[in-house]
Amino acid sequence: MTYLLGILQTIGVHTLLGLSAYLLLLTGQLSLAQVGFFAIGAYVSGILTVIFSWNIFAALALGSLMAGFFAFLVGFPALRVKGLMLVVATISFSEIVRLFFFNLSWRVNVNGVEVGPDSTQGFREIRYFAANGWEQIHIVGLIWFVVMVVMLALWWLDQVRAGAVLRAVGTDELAAQSSGINLTMVKVAAMTGGGVIAGIGGGLFAHSTTYVDHHTFVILLATFAVSYPIIGGLRSVIGTLLAVIFIQGFIIEGLRFMGDYRNLIFGLLIILVMNMRPQGLLDGHLVADIRKLLSKLTKGGKADA
């Protein structure tokens, strides 16, 4: 049971990471900065609950806002470049963040115990949940509540004008610009939103594992973050969730007996998806087919009644 809940935790947190990259990918921008925002969310909210004894919700909120704020700042210079150069710029950002926390030593005596980030030794005392009597099932519940809220918010974006604007920029910047869309504003807004989502994911991650250090926030995690929406497809937020379940649940956990060979499979999977389903697992046609099926089913149900 604990093992299963643990996997649910991981899937939930990785879904948030994936969704933060998803939002930016809608505008056609591939960013590896998501892990940097994730790290900011993790450390800031951790510091707030551990050193300043904040309530978890307030700490998560401020952690994700801080991540969003840095995403906003980074967005302006980073989004002036495109493609490969954006990848390089965002990798640099993530590395700067990682190395900052690698060097951050902020030990404080709280109730007779020395706590706080301890540079290379990591940040070990993020025990808010245990100290306040949360059980694992509650933590999983909180994580999935946040995942659902974020997914609903992103789904809602597609029901209103904002989603169309994001996708227009992703489809063709020149055409979007000719229709009067302010490219910089849209991209920076997507970057900021992605930062907020990654930041809250980082906060939840830090508190659910009770321990973070700089090894957690390497670029590999950022490549996972972008591969979820790419494998899942950009048609729907569900695609990202499915991809996380598939990769974390099946490839990483299900094939654990294969040890390091799993990485080979992961690489193979990316190549297969690019060749066989270039629009992702859940592409436009599949979404349309599912809609048709659903409407048939509901209509059939009415006819019976």
| Cα 84 to Cα 223: distance, rounded to the nearest angstrom | 14
**How many of the chain's residues bind another protein (CB under 8 A)?**
15
By CB under 8 A, is residue 295 in contact with another protein?
no
Q: Are residues 217 and 38 in contact, defined by beta-carbon separation less than 8 angstroms?
A: yes
Integer CA distances (angstroms), 71 to 13, 21, 108, 258, 278, in order: 19, 12, 28, 38, 28
Residue of 114, 135, 172, 289 that binds another protein (CB under 8 A): 172
Is 165 among the residues that bind another protein (CB under 8 A)?
Answer: yes
| DSSP 8-state symbol, 101 | H
Query: Among the candidate windows 38-46, 150-158, 179-187, 250-258, which touches another protein by CB under 8 A?
Result: 179-187
Could you tell me the end-to-end alpha-carbon distance of the chain, in angstroms, rounded to an integer?
Answer: 41
SS3 284: helix
Contact residue for another protein among 50, 146, 168, 231 (CB under 8 A): 168
Q: Which of these segments, 90-98, 134-142, 175-183, 296-304, binds another protein (CB under 8 A)? A: 175-183
Q: How far is the CB of 219 from another protein (least distance, A)?
A: 31
Among 97, 81, 104, which Cα is nearest to 219's? 97
Q: How far apart are CA 13 and CA 150, in angstroms?
A: 12
Q: Which of 133, 180, 259, 301 binds another protein (CB under 8 A)?
A: 180
Query: Binder to another protein among 88, 99, 152, 164 (CB under 8 A)?
Result: 164
In the list 254, 278, 284, 300, the residue contacting another protein (rule: CB under 8 A) is 284
Q: Which is nearer to another protein, 6 or 163 (CB)?
A: 163
160 binds another protein (CB under 8 A): no
Residue 275: other Cβ atoms inside 10 A: 8
Interacting stretch for another protein, rule CB under 8 A, among 42-50, 81-89, 139-147, 159-167? 159-167
171 scored as a contact of another protein (CB under 8 A): yes
Binder among 53, 103, 105, 182 for another protein (CB under 8 A): 182
Question: What value, to the nearest 5°, has the Cα angle with vertex 107 and ends 104 and 108?
Answer: 140
**Least Å distance between CB 184 and another protein?**
8
Alpha carbon distance 273, 252 (integer Å): 17
Show Cβ contacts of residue 222 under 8 Å, excluding neighbours closer than 6 positions: 32, 33, 34, 35, 36, 90, 91, 94
Instruction: Tell me the per-residue interface mask from 237 to 276 with another protein, x by CB under 8 A, - otherwise.
Output: ----------------------------------------
Q: Residue numbers of the site for another protein (CB under 8 A)?
A: 164-165, 167-168, 171-172, 174-175, 177-182, 284
